[in-house]
Amino acid sequence: MSQTADSRPWIFNFVKWYGYMFAVTFLLYGCVSIILGFLDRQTDDMSEWIIFVLVGAIVISVCVAFRDRRPWGWYGLVGVNALIVVFALFDLGQSLNILLMAMSLIALVALFIPQTKGMIFKGR
């Protein structure tokens, strides 16, 4: 087996994996909540849990597009991280929101670094 070196800059991989982790969090929360809701026979919030699963699937598809260097994947990650920052600004009373906002700001700045934009918009 031959291993090829990944020619992508580390900042590109950081943004990609941050997006994957964020999407998997949504998927896990939604799927586990659905399973536990059925086991507890509490299906009142089923639509909320299904929305979490759908959002996770959409963000996963955006991350896959970003990995494949498609421009709409870059735009999607910019939109997701910008929404996280805006929603976290509305509730700064919780320390976890401040942490999530800081991590999304770092990912947002990393998306606009010329190395990352050069990987996506090469020749444009």
Identify the pLDDT of residue 91: 81
C-alpha span between 59 and 2 (Å, rounded): 31
Q: What is the pTM of this model?
A: 0.81
Q: What's the pLDDT band for 98 if we cut at 50, 70, 90?
A: confident
Residue 120 CB neighbours (<10 A): 20
Considering 25-29, 37-41, 112-116, the range whose residues carry the highest mean pLDDT is 25-29
Hey, what amino acid is at 111? L
Give the C-alpha separation, 43 to 118, whole Å. 47
pLDDT, one tens digit per residue, over 4-38 is 556 778 888 889 999 999 999 999 999 999 999 88
Q: Give the DSSP H or E segment for 78.
A: helix 71-90
Tokens of 119: 């990987």
Can you say whether the dihedral through the CA atoms of 49, 52, 54, 56 is positive or negative?
negative
